[in-house]
Structure 1
Amino acid sequence: MDFELKRLRPQEAASAKVDALLALVPSDFRAGDDALSVLIQGALDGEHLKADAGTTLSMYGAPRIAAPRVVLAGIGDGGGKALRKSVAVAMAELRRTPAKTLLVCVAGTGEPPSWVGAVTQAIDEACYTYETTRTKPDACKLRKITVGTQHEASARPAFAQAQAVAAGINLAREWGNRPGNHATPTLLAGAAQALAGKKSPVRCEVLGPKEVAKLGMGAFQAVARGSEEALRFIVLEYRGGPKSQPPVALIGKGITFDSGGISLKPAADMDEMKFDMSGAASVLGVFRALSDLRPKVNVVGLIPACENLPDGRAVKPGDVVTSMSGQTIEILNTDAEGRLVLCDALTYARRFKPRAMVDIATLTGACVIALGGVRSGMFSTDDALAGALEQAGNTSGDLCWRMPLDDDYAEGLKTNFADMANVAGRAAGAVTAAKFLQKFVGDTPWAHLDIAGTAWLSGKAKGSTGRPVGLLLQYLLDQQVPAEQPAGKARKKVRQ
C-alpha cells in the first residue's frame, strides 16, 4: 500500500483527481464555501447524514466533485476511538468498490488534533487481507492513499509512526491467522530471521532442541515432547538506545498449535488454537515496527515456540519437570502449557538484566470470562510499569486492565510432590496463572499481559486482531531516554 501525506486546503478536495474521496465530518463541522462543504451541509440539513461516529453516506457522481465516488463519514468529537470506528465502517464500504486511489481529509474549516495518525493507521489496518492459503483472496483494490491535511509538516511524524505501527500489527495478524501447518516453530523462526536483514537494526538468534536442553529448559522441553515438530527458542535484539541502558524484555508465548496435549481440548473450535502463538506474533510485530521507527530504546524479544500435541512421548498429568530456574513443577494439566514455556523464557530473560520484563500470552479462558474482548488483562509487580502500560493502552486505543496479584492467590499452586503445581483450580484462573509466572521473575519489574480475549475474533469475523502490538509499541516509544537523562537509573520498585 502506497501512502502519501499532502498539504491540502479544504477547497482543493473537491477537485482532486482520485477514484474515491473519503471526507470525515466532525460534530462541530464548520462549512466553507467550497463544493465539498456545500455537499456536506446539504446532507446534514436534509438529515441524510449525521456527524456521529460510525455513520456514513455513500454517493456516486456527486455534483462539482471530481472523484466519482464519495463517502461522507461522521467522526463525532474527532477523538481516536471515534476516528477508528468511522474509518472501519467507511473502509468496509470502499473495499467493495473498484477504487484504486483514495483521498481522505477532514471536511470543513477545522481539523481535530492528532487525526492524521489515527486515520492512517486505521486505513492501513483496514486494507489488510489474509492471502497465504487462499487462491482467490478478497484483496483490497486500493493501491494509493493520500491523506490530505492543512498541517502537513507538523503531522508528518505521526503519519510515519502510524504506518510503522500498522505494519507491525498486520505482520502479527498475518502470523496469527496462518494455520498450524503454515506457522510451525521453524517457520516462525524464519519470520524472525527475516526481520534481521543486512540493513536492519534487528538481530536474531535461533536456538534448537540441543541448545535448549543445554540451558536446562525442562518445562519448555516437556511441552514440546508430544510433537514431531522441533521446538525453537527465538532471541531478537534491537539496540537503539545507549549501550548503558538496560533493555526492555518482551516475551511472547509461541504455541503454534495447542491441542491441550494429554488433557485434550474439546473438538469444537479447536481450530482457533492456531491463535495460541499470538503473543509470539505480537513480538514479531513490535520488532517489525522498531526496524522502521528506530526509537532510542533497547529491546529484547524472546519467543519459546513449539506445538502442544498428544503422543506416546507427551508429558502426562502428574509428571514433574525441572525448570531452567531449578524449581520443580508438577504438571497437573497439560493444557496449562503456556505458563510452562514462559517460565523458562522469563528465567532466560533475566540474563539480559532488563529494566522491565513484559510477557504476552493467550494464557487463560478465565481472562476471557473476566474481561471479554475489550481489554487485555494486565498483572504487574511494579506500579510504575503497570501505570506506563495502562497509559500506553489508553494512548494507542489498545486497552488493558490491571488485575490483582495478592499472595493468597498462590495457595492453590502448592503440591506435595514438587515446588509448585502448574494449575490451581478453576477459581481466579487468570490470577493464579500470573502467580505461577511471578515465581520466575525475581526482583525484575515484571508485567504479564493475558490476551486470550483480545488476540483474535471468532465467528464470521474470525481472525487475528494484532493486539497488543499497538500498546507495546506505544509503551516502548514512551520509554525513550532523552540525551540529557542518565540511561541506567533504576526505577523504584513497589510490590503489591
Structure 2
Amino acid sequence: MEFNVKSGSPEKQRSACIVVGVFEPRRLTPVAEQLDIISEGYISNLLRRGDLEGKAGQMLLLHHVPNVLSERILLVGCGKERELDERQYRQIIKKTISTLNETGSMEAVCFLTELHVKGRDTYWKVRHAVETTNEALYNFTAMKSRKDEARRPLRKIVFNVPTRRELTTGERAIEHGMAISAGIKTTKDVANMPPNICNPAYLRDQAMEIAEQHDNLTIEVIDEAQMAELNMNSYLAVGRGSQNESMMTVMHYKGGVPSQNPVVLVGKGLTFDSGGISLKGGDGMDEMKYDMCGAASVLGAMQSIAQMKLPINVIGVLAGCENMPDANAYRPGDILTTMSGQTVEVLNTDAEGRLVLCDALTYVERFSPDVVIDVATLTGACVVALGKHATGMLSNHNPLAHELINASEQSSDRAWRLPLWDEYQEQLESPFADMSNLGGRAAGTITAACFLSRFTRKYHWAHLDIAGTAWISGGKEKGATGRPVAMLAQYVMNKAGVETED
C-alpha cells in the first residue's frame, strides 16, 4: 500500500475516488459542502431524500457526480460531530478502507484526516489513519493453497491536510505509521503461524531476517547448552518435554551512543503451551499457539524501532520454548533452582511462562538496563479482570508505569495499571522452597507479576500481561491483533525524544 499526504481543494482532485464525511443528521462537513456547491446541490439533494443519515459507519458511493473531476465520491457517516473521539475515528477509517477495497477504486484521496477529533492533532490523525488502513487490509493467507484477493484492490491512498504547513508533519506521520504497521504485521504473521512451523528456532530465523535488513541490528542466540552453563534451570525445565529445543534469541539494536543504557524488552515465547503434565482442556487448545505473542510483539517492536532508526539503544529478548507432556517433562512437585539461585516449587506445570521469564529477567541484568519491560500472555485471570480491551500492566517503578500508560493512550493501544503490593506476595509462600509458581485463584494476574518481581530487584521493571489483548478467539475475526507493538514503539519513541510536530 502506498501512502501520500497533500493539501488541496476537493474540486481539483482527479482520482478514482474522493472520500468525505457527513455528520448526523445529514450535515455535510466543510469539504463535502464544497463538493455540493460544485455539483449544484447534487449531494444535499440525495441526503434530503434519505439516502444517508450520517450515522457513524454509514457509506454511500456516488458515481459521476456533476462537475466533479473524480470518478467517485464516497460519503462516510461520521456520527455526531461533538462525539467524534479517537475510537470512533479509527472505526470510521477502518470501515472506509474496507469499502474502498471492494469498489474497484485502486486509489483514493481521503479528507477524513481533516475531521476534528477531540484532543488529537494532524500527526495523530494521519498516523492512525495509516495504521488503521493497514489493519483493515491485513489478511493471513500464508498457509492457504488458494488465495482470495480483490480483483482491483486499493493500492494508493492520499490523506489531505488543511494547510501546506502541515505537509511535513503528515509525511512524518506516514513514515512512523508505516514502520509501526510493519512491526504489527510481522507480529501477526509470526503469531498466526501454526506451531508445527513456528517453534523457537523459527523465532530465531525471523529475527535474523529482520537483522539482515538493518545495519544497526545484530542477533545473539542462547541455546540449551549455554542455558545449562548459565544455570537457567527453570527455563530449561519447561521445555524438557518437547522435541523442539528451547532457544533464547537476543536482538541488539544500537541506535544510541555506546555508553547509553538500553531499554530491554523481554517477550514470552511459548510457541505452544499444552499445559504440560497439568494438561489443558481440549476446547480452544489450538489457540495456545498464541502463547508466544509476547515474543512476537517484541520481534515486531524491534522491527518498527529499527525501521524508524530511533536514536536509542534497545535490546529485545525472545524467550522461545515449548511446553509439552512427555516422560521427560517437569512435574507438579518438582523444585527448580533458577538462574538467580532462588528456588521454586512447581504446583502446576501450566504456570510455565513465569518459569521461563524469571530466568530471562535474571539474564538481562548483564546489560545494565535503563528499564526492562516484559510482555507475556501470562494469565487467564487478566482476561477476567480486564477483558479483551486493555493490557494489564504492573511495575516496581512509578515513573516507568506512568510513561507506559501515556504511551498506551497516545497509541490507542490501551493498558491499565494493577497494584503490586507486598500483601499479594504472601500467596506465593511455599513450605519447601523459596516460593511456589502459583498464588491461587484470587488476584492471579497480580500474584504472577509478584513472582516475576522477585527477579527484577536490580532494575526498573514493568510487566505487560497481554493474555486478553494479543489475539481474538473464534469466528471470522480469529487471529493475532499485533498488540502491544504500537504501545512499545510509542514508548521507545518517547524515550528517544522523537518529535511529532514541527
Residues 11 and 205 of structure 1, relative CA distance in 2, 3 Å threshold: same
Question: Over residues 462-484 of structure 1, what are the superposed CA-to-partner deviations in whole Å (9 max), with x where a residue is unaligned?
Answer: 0110000111111111111599x
Q: Find the counterpart in structure 2 of residue 80 from structure 1.
A: 86
**Contact kept in structure 2, 1:53 and 1:83, CA below 8 Å:** no
Please show how residues 262-277 of structure 1 align to structure 2 within 5 Å.
262-277=277-292
Matches of 1:186 and 1:108, distance apart in 2: 46
In the alignment, does 2:121 pair up with 1:113?
A: yes
Please show how residues 186-265 of structure 1 align to structure 2 within 5 Å.
186-197=201-212, 199-265=214-280
Residues 440 and 135 of structure 1, relative CA distance in 2, 3 Å threshold: same
Residues 61 and 247 of structure 1, relative CA distance in 2, 3 Å threshold: same
Equivalent position SS for 1:272: helix
Opposite residue 144 of structure 1, the aligned amino acid is K
Q: Find the counterpart in structure 2 of residue 413 from structure 1.
A: 428
Matches of 2:391 and 2:180, distance apart in 1: 18
Question: Over residues 21-62 of structure 1, what are the superposed CA-to-partner deviations in whole Å (9 max), with x where a residue is unaligned?
Answer: 433446782254335885554455445334454333234444
Equivalent position SS for 2:184: helix
Identity %: 40
Choose which of 114, 124, 135 in structure 1 pairs with 2:134. Answer: 124
* 1:69, distance to aligned residue in structure 2 (A): 4.5
* 1:277, distance to aligned residue in structure 2 (A): 0.6
In the alignment, does 2:493 pair up with 1:477?
A: yes
Residues 39 and 118 of structure 1, relative CA distance in 2, 3 Å threshold: farther
* 1:459, distance to aligned residue in structure 2 (A): 2.1
* 1:396, distance to aligned residue in structure 2 (A): 0.6
Equivalent position SS for 1:341: helix
Q: Find the counterpart in structure 1 of residue 168 from structure 2.
A: 153
**Contact kept in structure 2, 1:382 and 1:445, CA below 8 Å:** yes
Residues 42 and 388 of structure 1, relative CA distance in 2, 3 Å threshold: farther
Residues 26 and 193 of structure 1, relative CA distance in 2, 3 Å threshold: farther
* 1:104, distance to aligned residue in structure 2 (A): 2.0
Equivalent position SS for 2:211: coil
* 1:367, distance to aligned residue in structure 2 (A): 0.3
* 1:181, distance to aligned residue in structure 2 (A): 1.3
Opposite residue 113 of structure 1, the aligned amino acid is D
In the alignment, does 2:124 pair up with 1:94?
A: no
TM-score by length of 1: 0.91
Matches of 2:115 and 2:372, distance apart in 1: 46
* 1:456, distance to aligned residue in structure 2 (A): 0.6
Matches of 2:491 and 2:44, distance apart in 1: 41
Equivalent position SS for 2:235: helix
Choose which of 293, 306, 323 in structure 2 pairs with 1:291. Answer: 306
Please show how residues 261-410 of structure 1 align to structure 2 within 5 Å.
261-410=276-425
**Contact kept in structure 1, 2:239 and 2:321, CA below 8 Å:** yes
Residues 215 and 97 of structure 1, relative CA distance in 2, 3 Å threshold: farther
Matches of 1:252 and 1:263, distance apart in 2: 23
**Contact kept in structure 1, 2:8 and 2:160, CA below 8 Å:** yes
* 1:158, distance to aligned residue in structure 2 (A): 1.1
* 1:170, distance to aligned residue in structure 2 (A): 1.1
**Contact kept in structure 1, 2:113 and 2:126, CA below 8 Å:** no
Q: Find the counterpart in structure 2 of residue 465 from structure 1.
A: 481
Q: Find the counterpart in structure 2 of residue 489 from structure 1.
A: none
- Larger mean Cα displacement after TM superposition, 401-410 or 64-73: 64-73
Question: Over residues 273-313 of structure 1, what are the superposed CA-to-partner deviations in whole Å (9 max), with x where a residue is unaligned?
Answer: 11111111111111111121111221111111011111110
Matches of 1:96 and 1:298, distance apart in 2: 43
Question: Over residues 447-496 of structure 1, what are the superposed CA-to-partner deviations in whole Å (9 max), with x where a residue is unaligned?
Answer: 1000000011112210110000111111111111599xxxxxxxxxxxxx
Matches of 2:116 and 2:281, distance apart in 1: 55
TM-score by length of 2: 0.90
Matches of 1:356 and 1:224, distance apart in 2: 28
Residues 234 and 329 of structure 1, relative CA distance in 2, 3 Å threshold: same
Residues 189 and 93 of structure 1, relative CA distance in 2, 3 Å threshold: same
Residues 315 and 91 of structure 1, relative CA distance in 2, 3 Å threshold: same
Q: Find the counterpart in structure 2 of residue 142 from structure 1.
A: 154
Matches of 2:428 and 2:42, distance apart in 1: 65
Matches of 2:438 and 2:116, distance apart in 1: 56
Opposite residue 130 of structure 2, the aligned amino acid is T
- Larger mean Cα displacement after TM superposition, 89-98 or 223-232: 89-98
**Contact kept in structure 2, 1:10 and 1:109, CA below 8 Å:** no
Opposite residue 216 of structure 1, the aligned amino acid is N
Matches of 2:316 and 2:453, distance apart in 1: 19
* 1:377, distance to aligned residue in structure 2 (A): 0.4
Question: Over residues 56-94 of structure 1, what are the superposed CA-to-partner deviations in whole Å (9 max), with x where a residue is unaligned?
Answer: 323444444454444322344554322211011222323
Equivalent position SS for 2:183: helix
Q: Find the counterpart in structure 2 of residue 491 from structure 1.
A: none
In the alignment, does 2:205 pair up with 1:184?
A: no
